[in-house]
């Protein structure tokens, strides 16, 4: 079983990117959702993407029901490697969203087998499976969904699957063995307090993934 790619979401401190680079983390997520404790401004994101490029870490901008021009502007100006749509963006939104050719488009959904069906034969670059929203947040809630529900999912003609929701250094190895995802995405599971990343937990998470 191949080792999944790793995304650490909700980065706010440029100094953390040296660690991500040393650990060969694949993606860093920058949150452009105002109600999130991990929200970054455009100016902050500019500094973070510069730090990411120096560390050879790809960047993902997380948006939730944002106007399409705002997503397109951020993707181009910040040279984002991917945009992650975490709201109720429908098929028309996805079809008419314009981003640079080098920017991949990911869609996040609260996972049920039925919720994944509309994305079969989709042109999306990845489908992120998360837990249901809580407290008005559509990600980074620290809650996991029932991973066993993925066992019966027919993955034929679905985009590559990214597993998110409630992952931690102690449970990610089990989650990978149960679901065999293309990538894993962690946010609150590597924080010391809400919105503050813990370098030791990041290191432990990556080591747990690489040990699978």
Q: pLDDT, tens digit, for every residue of 22-76?
A: 999 999 999 999 989 999 999 999 999 999 999 999 999 999 999 999 999 999 9
d(C-alpha 39, C-alpha 27), whole Å: 17
Distance CA(81)–CA(89), nearest Å, equals: 19
Predicted local distance difference test score (pLDDT) of residue 147: 87
pLDDT tens string 131-176 = 876 555 455 556 788 888 887 788 899 999 999 999 999 999 999 9
Helix residue ranges, H only, 37-110: 42-54, 68-77, 91-96
More confident position, 151 or 115: 115
pLDDT tens profile 85-105: 999 999 999 999 999 999 999
Q: CB neighbours (10 Å) of residue 124? A: 16
Cross-strand pairs, 71: none
Confidence (pLDDT) at 141: 57
Residues 6+ away with beta carbon under 8 Å from 152: 113
- What the block records as the tokens of 90 is 């429908």
Could you give phi then psi for residue 193, rounded to 5 degrees?
-140, 165
User: Which tokens in the block code for residue 2?
Assistant: 């191949």
Digit-coded pLDDT (tens) for 103-113: 999 999 999 88
- CB count, 10 Å around CB of 136? 9
Residues 6+ apart with CB under 8 A from 99: 71, 72, 75, 76, 80, 83, 105
Q: How many CB atoms lie within 10 A of CB 150?
A: 20
């Amino acid at each position: 079983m191949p080792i999944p790619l790793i995304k650490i979401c909700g980065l706010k401190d440029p100094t953390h990117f040296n660690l991500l680079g040393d650990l060969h983390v694949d993606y860093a997520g920058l949150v452009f959702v105002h109600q999130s404790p991990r929200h970054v401004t455009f100016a902050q994101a500019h500094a973070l993407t510069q730090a990411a490029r120096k560390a050879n870490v790809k960047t993902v901008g997380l948006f939730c029901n944002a106007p399409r021009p705002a997503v397109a502007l951020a993707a181009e100006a910040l040279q984002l490697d991917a945009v992650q749509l975490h709201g109720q963006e429908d098929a028309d939104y996805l079809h008419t969203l314009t981003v640079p050719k080098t920017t991949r488009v990911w869609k996040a959904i609260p996972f049920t087998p039925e919720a994944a069906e509309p994305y079969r034969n989709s042109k999306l670059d990845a489908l992120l499976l998360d837990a249901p929203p809580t407290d008005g947040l559509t990600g980074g809630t620290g809650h996991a969904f029932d991973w066993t529900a993925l066992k019966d999912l027919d993955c034929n003609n679905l985009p590559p699957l990214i597993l998110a929701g409630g992952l931690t250094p102690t449970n990610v190895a089990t989650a990978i063995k149960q679901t065999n995802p293309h990538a894993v995405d962690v946010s609150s599971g590597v924080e010391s307090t809400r919105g503050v990343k813990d370098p030791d937990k990041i290191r432990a998470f990556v080591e747990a993934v690489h040990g699978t």
